[in-house]
Structure 1
Amino acid sequence: MFGFTLKNLRTRSSRRSEMSNATIDPQRPIGELAREVPSYTRVFEAAGIDYCCGGDASLAMACNQAGVNLDDVREELADVQTDDAQAIDWDDLAELIDDVVETHHQYLREELPALEGLVRKVARVHGENHPELEALQAVYLDLAPAMKEHIREEEEEVFPIIEKLDRGDSLSDAERRRLREVIEEMEADHEETAELLDLIAELTDGYTVPADACPSYESMVERLDALERDTHEHVHKENNVLFVEAETKLSDGVESRNS
């Protein structure tokens, strides 16, 4: 799916990790694994495993869908360095929201318009020799405004309700219903974004720079690749952490405890 192979990640030291691959349950959801050990996302990326929108799938199922060997992936997960501890407190939803906005939303606000200009330029200059660039431009022009609208809706409607919930403030019945509805809408948007990014990956042959590419073409491919990788991490934080925790608090009636 992502144009990478597991061997890209094989940079093992001579010492084995204390964690054996036998300790990694193949029936655990991959989104849950990535939440507990953020470094695992590097393995999932390299293996072409969809850990963001497909985070509910078990490790075994995800490996099967990606066409990679389960034991190889478990070995890589056991070897991955986990000493770069997650700096964000997953239980503090306000802190996580700040991280999403400052890290991912700000990146999109700066990168999407700049990348649009680059995509248009490359399609104009190289379109005759690379007819797939016309389709690439069309897909990107669908993707960029959709992502801009998505982050606007999150910041103006979704995140304020989650922050209120996280503070322990009482939510009205309408707010509770709306939060559940809008989380479903955001997750559906994430699925659509993933489909568009898949198309871009196909149209660039897995983000491969052609032999006749100029520096602008090369930069476009590299930045589209980076956009997909950032989106995977972004969606993982929302689908598998933020929205899950918000749903749990709603179900537990957490916001009523301080009222």
Structure 2
Amino acid sequence: MTSALTEQTLGNLACAIPGATRIFRQYKLDFCCGGNTSLEEAARQRDLDAQAIAAELAMLNRSSDSEPDWRNEPTGVLIEYLLERFHERHREQLPELIRLANRVEHVHGAKPGCPLGLAEHLWTMQQELESHMLKEEQVLFPMLQRGMEVPQSHGPIAVMRYEHDQHGAALAKLAALTNDITPPANACNTWRALYRGLEELRDDLMQHIHLENNILFLRGAAQ
């Protein structure tokens, strides 16, 4: 059983096993932009035990979970979930994170470990993500909701996948600026609140990209 799991891609496992994404985040395995990589290969790249991770996934697979299997939900339902759960949430998250980052850099800029440049990076992420989401809301999602029979959605999907890769690179830079979102021992409450928010943003954005790349866009590409 575990050997069969190691041969599957991270994207397929994230779709098939409720809760798998939590385990992948724990081991820092990229199931969104790197969703086409097998568990075996992804674990090898990070010097991890693929069989041990597969055993954890197998245990999850035997347990019940309330997360829906989005592969079985209508396209319109999935799109509405993406809009409400992620698009709206990102628009709430980033302005507050930018405010907190500016505060931390202003007050603690001379201290070791201060994430200098973080506020500017978050502002850039906000601009790029807003542009990306508007393209989905105004162009791609309406196409997919209409269930178009011609491959007009293929071009926009390719653009969105490319931009998802850019978002993945932005998350990597965010991790580099923040010691993998780990506050120093003497961090103040504002600093810790900022990093808790960054963790949430990273988790949400990875799940957002996963659902689009590995489920929604595959449907569009198959039309």
Please say whether Structure 1 and Structure 2 have the same fold, judged by a TM-score greater than 0.5: yes
Moved over 3 A (4+): none
Would the aligned equivalents of 1:143 and 1:196 in 2 still touch at CA under 8 Å? Answer: yes
Q: Partners in 2 of 1:94 and 1:48 — Cα distance? A: 31
Matches within 5 A, 1:164-203: 164-165=146-147, 171=150, 176-177=151-152, 179-203=153-177
2:127 aligned with 1:153, yes or no? Answer: no
Query: Larger C-alpha radius of gyration, 1 or 2?
Result: 1
The 3 A distance-change label for structure 1 pair 29 and 170 is closer
Count of residues in Structure 1 that have an aligned counterpart in Structure 2: 221
Number of the residue aligned with 2:12: 32
Q: Partners in 1 of 2:180 and 2:197 — Cα distance? A: 13
2:212 aligned with 1:238, yes or no? Answer: yes
| Alpha-carbon shift at residue 131 of structure 1 (Å) | 6.7
Q: Partners in 2 of 1:200 and 1:130 — Cα distance? A: 17
> 87, 94, 112: which is aligned to 2:68?
87
| Alpha-carbon shift at residue 138 of structure 1 (Å) | 2.6
**Gap runs ≥5 in structure 1:** 1-19, 251-259
Number of the residue aligned with 1:3: none
* Cα RMSD, aligned residues only: 1.7
The 3 A distance-change label for structure 1 pair 132 and 85 is same
| Alpha-carbon shift at residue 187 of structure 1 (Å) | 0.8
2:193 aligned with 1:213, yes or no? Answer: no
**Gap runs ≥5 in structure 2:** none
Q: Partners in 2 of 1:184 and 1:29 — Cα distance? A: 20
Q: Partners in 2 of 1:148 and 1:123 — Cα distance? A: 24
The 3 A distance-change label for structure 1 pair 216 and 132 is closer
1:109 counterpart letter in structure 2: R
1:192 counterpart letter in structure 2: Q
| Alpha-carbon shift at residue 93 of structure 1 (Å) | 0.8
2:88 aligned with 1:106, yes or no? Answer: yes
TM-score, with structure 1 as normaliser:
0.80
1:140 counterpart letter in structure 2: L
Bigger fraction of residues in helix: 2
Structure 2 counterpart SS, 1:133: coil
2:47 aligned with 1:73, yes or no? Answer: no
Number of the residue aligned with 2:35: 55
**Residue-by-residue CA offset, 1:7-43 (whole Å, 9 max, x unaligned):** xxxxxxxxxxxxx524x33221110111111311111
Identity over aligned residues, as a percent?
28
| Alpha-carbon shift at residue 148 of structure 1 (Å) | 1.3
Structure 1 counterpart SS, 2:146: helix
Q: Partners in 1 of 2:115 and 2:43 — Cα distance? A: 31
